[in-house]
Amino acid sequence: MDQTATLPEFKYHPDPVATGVVVRDEDAPCLSCNRIRGYIYDGPVTSEKFHHLTHCLCPWCIADGSAARQFGAEFADSGTMEGVSQEVRDEIAQRTPGFHSWQETQWLVCCGDGAEFLGAAGSKELKTQFPDAMPAVRQHLKEDFDLSGAELKEFLAALSKDDQPTAYIFRCRKCREYLAYVDET
């Protein structure tokens, strides 16, 4: 195992270890570079050629695009992104670790760029980890779920990181505003 390796940087997913999609594994080989590098990607992956790539790719092969090229793999769905360049879509779909969600993932956009994904959150995580994202979650529930007053409060309290409904927290790389959406099956 390569002890000196530091994880690659992902500008749209700054801490994939914290969000849980890159995990420590000292035995898992990467199918792309055939090395055991100590970290493996555990997030969602779709592939044109292979079907079993979960827990089989290292973050370095995601970062440099070799996993995407070799397996026709995509890690996030960038199809719903509006107002960003093809370059940004490609980087998010092919060279950025994705995240698990109940339905198809949406990568949020702000200021003409993809936002950075900070993590999934329930009511507990919103209070402790992402208090500044609370207004974005409330606004989303008002606008997209048509909730207000006691109903909104109840819905917020029911949010869970591990059970639905779940909030997904992003932050704009340019204006630094928090962005969020909520998803359930």
Give residues in contact with Zn ion (CB under 5 A): 30, 32-33, 58, 61, 110-111, 172, 174-175
Q: Between 37 and 138, whose beta carbon lies closer to Zn ion?
A: 37
Least Å from the CB of residue 67 to Zn ion: 7
Q: Between 61 and 159, whose beta carbon lies closer to Zn ion?
A: 61
Torsion sign over Cα 90, 50, 102, 16: negative
Q: Between 156 and 180, whose beta carbon lies closer to Zn ion?
A: 180
Q: Between 84 and 156, whose beta carbon lies closer to Zn ion?
A: 84
Q: Between 28 and 93, whose beta carbon lies closer to Zn ion?
A: 28
Least Å from the CB of residue 8 to Zn ion: 10
Least Å from the CB of residue 126 to Zn ion: 20
Please, what's the b/e burial string for 94-106 (b: 16 or more CB within 10 A of its CB; e: otherwise)? bbbbbbebeeebb
Which pair of tokens denotes residue 11? 């500008």
Least Å from the CB of residue 142 to Zn ion: 20
Alpha carbon dihedral 144, 113, 75, 162, in 10-degree steps, equals: -40
- 16: phi then psi, degrees, rounded to nearest 5: -70, -15
Least Å from the CB of residue 28 to Zn ion: 10
Distance (Å) of CA 4 to CA 7, 17, 38, 54 = 10, 17, 10, 24
